[in-house]
């Protein structure tokens, strides 16, 4: 099994490994050379498929890293830092535990990626069309509007049972929405109609407040436009009928 360069980039290494009693004894007897041999062996094991290495090749390791076979073997067998299995391979139990966690995480990520690719290739279940980008955008917009509607108090639960609000309720809601709706006018208007909207009983008074908001905004804009038209004296340049119409609007302001 050939490992990629990416695999070689990561390696768990405790910053206080030098303080382990076994390592302390190793350095006491072999100095920093022994400590260096230890980490060379750990790195060699990390690159092996099963994180183990044959004892028969320790002489080759010694030549490669400019030390002796005897020192390599004493580091492996003399300080309980490594174990030799029945196949005469040596390994590090600590390294195996750490790599087991990393390998398990890597397998889960690979499996999740495989399932995601299969889902894309297979497509949606029979009878269910795959949503286009435009359809997906509309779906998200619909969900967003439904959420805003519920947060604004115009949800399905509000529509089921209508409870007549008080002037205080209307005033508090109008203040919350910072609108220009007059609570007294709103209450008196619908009270006079027995809280009917057309031929139907009102389902949600907060939705009615929203309607009054829009009408108030449109009326305010129209009034501002007419007022500006009047003040600029444009009516004098119009016909008699137009001047009467402007006069009527101005009196209504």
**CATH number of the domain residue 45 falls in:** 1.10.10
Cα-flanking dihedrals φ and ψ of residue 201, to 5°?
Answer: -70, 140
* Separation of alpha carbons 52 and 89, rounded Å: 6
SS3 87: coil
**Does 127 fall in a domain?**
no
* Separation of alpha carbons 235 and 241, rounded Å: 10
Q: Are residues 72 and 162 in the same domain?
A: no
* Separation of alpha carbons 157 and 150, rounded Å: 9
Q: How far is the CA of 19 from the CAs of 14, 27, 28, 98, in angstroms?
A: 10, 10, 12, 19
**Burial group, residue 74, by CB count within 10 angstroms (0-12, 13-18, 19+):** middle
**Residue of 234, 238, 178 whose CA lies nearest to 209:** 178
Domain boundary among the residues 98, 123, 143 is at 98
Residue with tokens 């949600």: 204
201-239 pLDDT per residue, tens: 998 999 999 999 888 876 665 555 555 555 555 555 556
Q: Are residues 14 and 85 in the same domain?
A: yes
Domain boundary among the residues 68, 98, 128 is at 98
**Does 128 fall in a domain?**
no
For residue 175, the Cα-to-chain-centroid distance in whole angstroms is 33
Give the structural domain span for 196.
Answer: 152-252
Q: Within the chain, which residues score under 70 in pLDDT?
A: 1-12, 123-131, 147-160, 218-253
pLDDT value at residue 11? 65
**Residue of 32, 36, 76 whose CA lies nearest to 54:** 76
pTM given for the model: 0.42
């Amino acid at each position: 099994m050939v490992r990629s360069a990416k695999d070689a980039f990561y390696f768990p290494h405790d910053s206080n490994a030098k303080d382990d009693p076994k390592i302390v004894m190793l350095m006491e007897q072999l100095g920093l050379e022994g400590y260096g041999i230890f980490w060379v062996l750990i790195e060699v094991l990390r690159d092996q498929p099963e994180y183990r290495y044959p004892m028969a090749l320790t002489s080759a390791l010694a030549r490669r890293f400019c030390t002796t076979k005897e020192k390599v073997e004493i580091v492996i067998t003399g300080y309980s830092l490594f174990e030799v299995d029945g196949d005469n391979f040596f390994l590090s139990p600590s390294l195996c535990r750490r790599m087991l966690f990393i390998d398990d995480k890597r397998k889960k990520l690979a499996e999740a990626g495989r399932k995601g690719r299969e889902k894309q290739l297979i497509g949606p279940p029979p009878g269910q069309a795959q949503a286009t980008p435009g359809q997906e955008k509309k779906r998200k917009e619909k969900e967003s509007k439904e959420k805003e509607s519920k947060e604004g108090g115009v949800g399905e639960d509000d529509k089921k049972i209508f409870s007549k609000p008080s002037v205080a309720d209307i005033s508090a809601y109008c203040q919350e929405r910072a609108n220009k709706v007059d609570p007294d006018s709103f209450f008196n208007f619908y009270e006079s109609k027995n809280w009917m909207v057309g031929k139907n009983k009102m389902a949600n008074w907060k939705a009615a407040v929203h309607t009054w908001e829009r009408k108030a905004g449109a009326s305010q804009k129209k009034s501002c436009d007419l007022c500006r038209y009047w003040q600029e004296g444009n009516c004098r340049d119009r016909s008699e009928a137009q001047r009467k119409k402007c006069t009527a609007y101005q009196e209504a302001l």
